[in-house]
Amino acid sequence: MVNRVSNYLLMRLADWLAGWLGGWLAGWMDGWMDGWLAG
Protein backbone atom coordinates (compact mmCIF):
# COMPACT_ATOMS: atom_id res chain seq x y z
CA MET A 1 0.00 0.00 0.00
CA VAL A 2 2.61 2.53 1.09
CA ASN A 3 4.88 1.43 -1.74
CA ARG A 4 2.16 2.14 -4.30
CA VAL A 5 1.55 5.61 -2.88
CA SER A 6 5.25 6.49 -2.87
CA ASN A 7 5.58 5.14 -6.41
CA TYR A 8 2.67 7.34 -7.50
CA LEU A 9 4.16 10.42 -5.84
CA LEU A 10 7.52 9.69 -7.42
CA MET A 11 5.87 9.42 -10.84
CA ARG A 12 4.05 12.71 -10.31
CA LEU A 13 7.27 14.41 -9.22
CA ALA A 14 9.18 13.06 -12.21
CA ASP A 15 6.35 14.20 -14.49
CA TRP A 16 6.32 17.70 -13.01
CA LEU A 17 10.10 17.92 -13.12
CA ALA A 18 10.19 16.81 -16.75
CA GLY A 19 7.55 19.39 -17.68
CA TRP A 20 9.33 22.19 -15.81
CA LEU A 21 12.70 21.27 -17.26
CA GLY A 22 11.25 20.95 -20.76
CA GLY A 23 9.60 24.36 -20.51
CA TRP A 24 12.78 26.00 -19.19
CA LEU A 25 14.89 24.36 -21.89
CA ALA A 26 12.45 25.39 -24.61
CA GLY A 27 12.52 29.00 -23.40
CA TRP A 28 16.31 29.00 -23.17
CA MET A 29 16.69 27.51 -26.64
CA ASP A 30 14.22 30.05 -28.02
CA GLY A 31 16.19 32.94 -26.55
CA TRP A 32 19.48 31.46 -27.71
CA MET A 33 18.20 30.98 -31.25
CA ASP A 34 16.86 34.54 -31.31
CA GLY A 35 20.22 35.92 -30.21
CA TRP A 36 22.10 33.69 -32.65
CA LEU A 37 19.90 34.69 -35.58
CA ALA A 38 20.14 38.38 -34.66
CA GLY A 39 23.92 38.13 -34.29
Confidence bin at 38 (pLDDT 50/70/90) = confident
What pLDDT does residue 37 have? 86
Confidence bin at 6 (pLDDT 50/70/90) = very high
pTM exceeds 0.75? no
Please tell me the number of Cα atoms within 13 Å of 34 on its side-chain side: 6
Please tell me the number of Cα atoms within 13 Å of 4 on its side-chain side: 1
User: From the centroid of its chain, how far is CA 29?
Assistant: 13
More confident residue, 36 or 24: 24
What pLDDT does residue 2 have? 81
Measure the CA angle with vertex 16, ends 10 and 27; round to 5°: 150
